[in-house]
Structure 1
Amino acid sequence: MTIKSQTTLFGLTVAAGTLCATAVAAGTPERSGQSITPIFERGTYGELSFSAVSPDLTGETVGGDSISDLGDTYFAFAGAFKKDINDSLSFGVVFDQPWGANITYNDDATNGVFTDANTEWNSAAITALGRYKLGNGFSIHGGIRAETLEIDVNLPAAGAENTIKESTGFGYTIGAAYEIPAKAARISLTYHSAVEHKADVSFNDADDGETTFDMPESLNLEFRHAVSPTTVIFGSARYIDWTSLDINTNSFGDLVGYADDTLQTSFGVGRGFSKEWAGAITVDYEPPTDSPVSDLSPTDGKFGLGIGGTYTRDQTKISGLVKVLSNGDAVSNAGSAFNDNTTLAVGFKIARTF
């Protein structure tokens, strides 16, 4: 396989692993996957990506009334830039939207306390990274992350409209990797620290003091390996410490909390068809927790399939990916049942080596 077709094929593994990452979460406000793979690209490198995600979430109340589609379509953006300082040292900057949620109940009175209820999370993060090659295939990487977050949890029927106003917190990233260039193989382990937020709170449009909470720490394991001149396997596992998240407010009390941590896994196979074209299929899986879930994030576990392709021309790679996910069945804290739901996600990325 020529160098150019290798570039096409391995560019696809990055795209398949990161595009539509907004659809990987089940029952938690996870969006981006917090991958740092751009730091491993060769030379000077930049990328921009866009994703659109449309969940279909319907259910039935404990009284037998139908719950119409709760999942709002949402869009996400990400970008990265990386540059070598010398043969051993490189730096990069990654922008993503790590946390997010868009759930809306209609104003049907059969929804009870959740009539006209909604939750919306918006976030943005910038991570400044450095990587140093130790020799013999080993390297270390790490950096600092700045993260903004705003949360609305509104229950008009209960007379409780809560806003966690925009705040900024800081954390760090650290990890290590091992590569075998002759086999186009790499395995990396990256730890993202918790990020503390101290935010002003509004309750029914009135000042409600402050709240302090930590967005959870996580651990990412990512790998790829060429099994033939035209075929590569790749995958990832991501653990998130959701049980550490506890958001309390003065007027409402416990506003956000989770009973279980999550482990998200993905596996894919990519194949180069020519110097310009490559394709891949991916499988995503998150095991269900079998615990009651929030009525404002009513899924538990997931299984997904994706198909993608990359076109390379000169130093530019254009990638696209479509994923269909089966959202895990769930019973909410209020006793509502959500079954047989799906999510459709599409993503597009353009990347260039300079």
Structure 2
Amino acid sequence: MRNHFHLKTLAVAIATLSIASVTNAAGLDRSGQDVTAFLQDGTYAEAAYTYIDADVSGFDSANNNPNDNSYAKGAATGDIAEAYDFFRYGVKTDINDTFSIGVLYDEPFGAAAEYTDSNFVSQGDLDASVAGITNGAAPSLAAAQAGIAALAPGEAAGALTDEQQAQLDGLRGAVGIAQAEASTAGENTNVEVRSQSLTGLLGMRFGANKNFQIYGGPVAQRIQAEVKLRGLAYGPAAGYTSTSNPEMDYGYIAGLSFSKPEIALKAALTYRSEIDHELQISENYPIRAIASGGALSADQNAKYEVTTPESVNFDFQTGINATTLATAKVRWVPWSDFSITPPLYNDVSKGTYGPDGLNLLDYDDDQWQVELGLAKRLAPALAVSGTVGWDSGAGDPTTSLGPIEGYYSAGLGAKYNVTDEWAISAGGKYLWFGDAEGRLPTGKIAADFQDNEGYIVGLKLSYQDIN
């Protein structure tokens, strides 16, 4: 039994790290949409599991006035990042020396965050809520209502000064927000986004030595989301809830690769298209019913569109000597083009923020991710690998539902060949997250997050027959 590595297949030793590519550091990116399983020689199959645990904590803003965007350090948020895991599968085989086929499954996009402390949690105390929103100007609900009753006759007669009108509007807004807050007493701000993707691939090699390959195929993608905005931090949006039901839609993948087996060189450039989803969404927005005196419902069911972003991945490897392989990965995702705009949320916001209203979620910058690695064969059946990486993030300030501006990472992995064909790989990464301010859709800075970190671990079982 040989039970050893060939240089041209040594790249598989680092694949366990590529499955643990990203957390929610940039936009909603999770898996990194890796396609290297399809680029392996011969018949190849893998099943991989990734677990991600991040510690993301900071401080909310002591300023709860929705009309004042200034930040003032408030209470500790606690850890808002929920641990999550996902799977990836892939299988590929050569039909002949020209054509290859494969199928890949991954979970490309997602989010998992929950606030359990601070003013991102609904307290349900009407008096405390009014006082918090008005910075103590009206210390109780009764005082705020008395202030409204005293000023309202002057408004009807057109006798209020601009300052008095602003005071009246502020008191009315505070009472409405407090009532919305009370309707969800004790609940936490929470977001969960899940996606699944199935990619079919057909590759064709060409050139004098079959060194080049073009590949592509259809992509089926399913996405769903649930969002709960709670606490005084969200102002008029406090109490908002939406559930987007799972929906399957389609896109495509296309790529070009080059290989030179005698020096273990492989390079691949892969493009994935954006995918337009039409989702059925159920929304509940308490302030809508409160502000209209019950004339308008707080609930709405409708359809809306979400477009998951396109991406470009570049994968590269080359042998340094008979036992050592160098690798590089680069990924680009235009998160600045992405947004989530639920119809009821958007419609309610138009009254205050103009004819276009607000997006529930969007980003300022595009994501760039770079990872460099080395893999080394230590024994006939054992190889180890190490990586360093950088992720640009998608802007700062960024959404309060994912307040990280990129990361730096360092990882280690190992692969053991149990037989000539079967191997087990394991690896992990440590991540140092970039500091970020948590911004609301209104532009208000609601929290500040610094000195956070996380880790990723992965386990993979793979099969390869290159005979």
Bin the TM-score by the shorter chain. Answer: over 0.9
Once the two structures are overlaid, the 10-residue window that deviates more, 311-320 or 280-289, is 280-289
In 1: Cα distance, 2:120 partner to 2:189 partner: 12
In 2: Cα distance, 1:287 partner to 1:103 partner: 20
Q: What corresponds to 1:153 in structure 2?
A: 227
Which digits, 9 at most, give the CA deviation of each residue in 1:192-220, with x for residues without a partner? 00001001111129442110121000000
8 Å Cα contact 2:336/2:394 also seen in 1: no
Q: What corresponds to 2:48 in structure 1?
A: 49
Once the two structures are overlaid, the 10-residue window that deviates more, 250-259 or 92-101, is 250-259
Task: Kindly state the Cα deviation for residue 264 of structure 1 after the two structures are TM-superposed.
Answer: 0.7
Counterpart secondary structure, 2:37: helix
Q: What corresponds to 1:353 in structure 2?
A: 464
Find out whether 1:73 has 2:83 as its counterpart: yes
Find out whether 1:327 has 2:441 as its counterpart: no
Counterpart amino acid of residue 95 in structure 2? I
Task: Kindly state the Cα deviation for residue 243 of structure 1 after the two structures are TM-superposed.
Answer: 1.7
Structure 1: runs of 5+ lacking an equivalent: none
| Aligned residue runs from structure 1 range 94-105, under 5 A | 94-105=104-115
Task: Kindly state the Cα deviation for residue 108 of structure 1 after the two structures are TM-superposed.
Answer: 4.2
Once the two structures are overlaid, the 10-residue window that deviates more, 317-326 or 289-298, is 289-298
Structure number with greater Rg is 2
Task: Kindly state the Cα deviation for residue 73 of structure 1 after the two structures are TM-superposed.
Answer: 0.7
Find out whether 1:194 has 2:237 as its counterpart: no
In 2: Cα distance, 1:109 partner to 1:86 partner: 62
Counterpart secondary structure, 1:36: coil
- Normalising by structure 1, report the TM-score: 0.94
**Larger strand share, 1 or 2:** 1
Which digits, 9 at most, give the CA deviation of each residue in 1:164-191, with x for residues without a partner? 2111110000010111111000110000
8 Å Cα contact 1:48/1:77 also seen in 2: yes
Give the percent of matched residue pairs that are identical in Structure 1 and Structure 2. Answer: 29
2:453 to 331, 342, 352: 342
In 2: Cα distance, 1:270 partner to 1:99 partner: 28
- Normalising by structure 2, report the TM-score: 0.72
**Larger helix share, 1 or 2:** 2
In 1: Cα distance, 2:405 partner to 2:14 partner: 27
Structure 2: runs of 5+ lacking an equivalent: 63-73, 123-180, 232-237, 285-297, 347-358, 440-444
Counterpart amino acid of residue 219 in structure 2? R
In 1: Cα distance, 2:47 partner to 2:320 partner: 29
8 Å Cα contact 2:60/2:119 also seen in 1: no
In 1: Cα distance, 2:227 partner to 2:363 partner: 15
1:293 to 398, 401, 405: 398
Task: Kindly state the Cα deviation for residue 246 of structure 1 after the two structures are TM-superposed.
Answer: 2.0
Q: What corresponds to 2:16 in structure 1?
A: 15
Which digits, 9 at most, give the CA deviation of each residue in 1:104-153, with x for residues without a partner? 00154475789710100011110000111012411111111000000111
Q: What corresponds to 1:224 in structure 2?
A: 317
Runs of 4+ with >6 A deviation: 112-115
Counterpart amino acid of residue 274 in structure 2? A
8 Å Cα contact 1:108/1:116 also seen in 2: no
2:371 to 258, 262, 266: 266
Q: Residues 66 and 107 from structure 1, CA distance in 2 versus in 1: closer, same or farther, beyond 3 angstroms?
A: closer
